[in-house]
Amino acid sequence: MSLSALCLRCGLCCDGNLFSHVALRPDEVASARHHGLDVEALVGGAPALRQCCTALSQRRCTLYAARPEGCRAYGCRLFKELAAGRVSLEDALAVVDRAHALLSALNEGLPPDTDARSSPVMERARFADLSEDGLSPETRALRERTEVLLDEHFHGGPRRFAHAPGEPE
C-alpha cells in the first residue's frame, strides 16, 4: 500500500522531468498508439513514448493496467528505498512534496511555455539556461538545486548536461 501511495503522490517518472522518453518494445507500439500515447522513433529507429506521457492525469496513469513494460519495470531510487524499508512513507512523501515545490518555484522563474504541447519544467529550464539571455542567477541556482534533488532521490545518481569549467567541449 505505501508503495502505491508514493507513486500516486509523485508522477515524476511520467511527467518528463526525469527523462524525455520511455523505451517501447516493437510489439507494444500498436497498443500504445491505440491508447493515444505519443510514440516517437529515437535515433536508430527504436520506438519510445515521449514524456510528458499523455496518459498522465493529476500525477496518475490513466492506462495503468495497460502500461508498457518500460513503465512497469521502472522504480525510482526513492521507490526502491521505501520498498527496502530504508526510508519511511512519511519521509518519502516529504521528498516528493519537496520535488514538486521546487519544480513549481522553478516554473515561476521561467519564461512562459510557448510550445503547443506543454513542455516539462526541467526541459524548459535547461533550454532557457542555454539561451542567449540565460537564466537569472537565482533561477539558475534553483534549477541546480532541483537537479540535485531529482538526481539523488529519483534518478539514482548525478547526470551532467554541461562541461565543467576547464573541460574540453
Taking 80 as the threshold, does the pLDDT of residue 158 lie above it? no
Give CA–CA dist 21/39, Å, rounded. Answer: 9
- Express each pLDDT in 39-98 by its tens digit: 999 989 999 999 999 999 999 999 988 899 999 999 999 999 999 999 999 999 999 999
Taking 90 as the threshold, does the pLDDT of residue 99 lie above it? yes
> Lowest mean pLDDT: which of 9-18, 92-101, 115-124?
115-124
Alpha helices in the chain (DSSP H): 2-10, 29-34, 69-73, 77-83, 89-108, 121-130, 137-150
What is residue 146's predicted lDDT score, i.e. its pLDDT? 97
- Residues 1-29 have a mean pLDDT of 91
pTM: 0.85
Give CA–CA dist 83/94, Å, rounded. Answer: 16
Confidence of residue 118 (pLDDT cuts 50, 70, 90): confident
Confidence of residue 156 (pLDDT cuts 50, 70, 90): low
C-alpha closest to that of 17 among 109, 138, 128, 149: 149
